[in-house]
Amino acid sequence: MSEEEAENAWEQSKEQKRKDTPAKAEADDADDEPQSLEDAVAEAYEKIDNNDLSSNLTLRDENLAALFHGLEGANQLEDVGVAAADEINWDQEDTDTRAGVLRALVRIGLNEVDSDEDDDGIIQAGKDGRRQYYDSDDF
């Protein structure tokens, strides 16, 4: 088997695993009416609290991994974290950790791609969903 064939088989295997996940089955069972983002976030908080969803996000990217390890090795990770936190006026203590920097950068990215002018945006919808969950009887 050539290297290209092996890579294709690996990608197909990963794709098949994604298609067979419980989240896919739940999505298939859900009714066709779309849920508001706030409601979906509130529901996700409930599932996280019930240990039905993971609170971790996983990102596999060799290039980004090398870059972040390089930033750590060159003692520049905290500088990136502080700049990212400043960009979104975020007063967080952990911008010197890889996870903290990634959290800030993801928020920046979400703000950048949020093109819906009719509401307060994705981040605000997430905050509203969180508030909805904590104000509910489920909490």
Ranking 20-24, 37-41, 111-115 by mean pLDDT, the lowest is: 20-24
The enclosing H or E element of 47 equals: helix 37-49
- Whether residue 1 is contained in a domain is answered as no
- φ, ψ for residue 138, nearest 5 deg: -75, -15
Residue 127, exposed/middle/buried by CB under 10 A (0-12, 13-18, 19+)?
Answer: middle
Query: Vertex 67, ends 10 and 55: CA angle to 5°?
Result: 65
pLDDT above 60 (res 112): yes
Please, what is the average pLDDT of the chain? 83
Q: Say what the pLDDT of residue 6 is.
A: 63
Answer whether residue 92 is part of any domain: yes
Length of the chain: 139
Instruction: Count up the domains in the chain and report the number.
Output: 1
Q: Is residue 131 part of a domain?
A: yes
Whole-number CA gyration radius for the chain: 19
Question: What percentage of the chain exceeds 90 in pLDDT?
Answer: 53
pLDDT of the residue at 120: 74
**Is 124 inside any structural domain?**
yes
In-domain check, residue 101: yes
Q: What is the pLDDT of residue 60?
A: 94
Residue range(s) defining the domain that contains residue 57: 36-135
Q: What is the DSSP letter of 35?
A: P
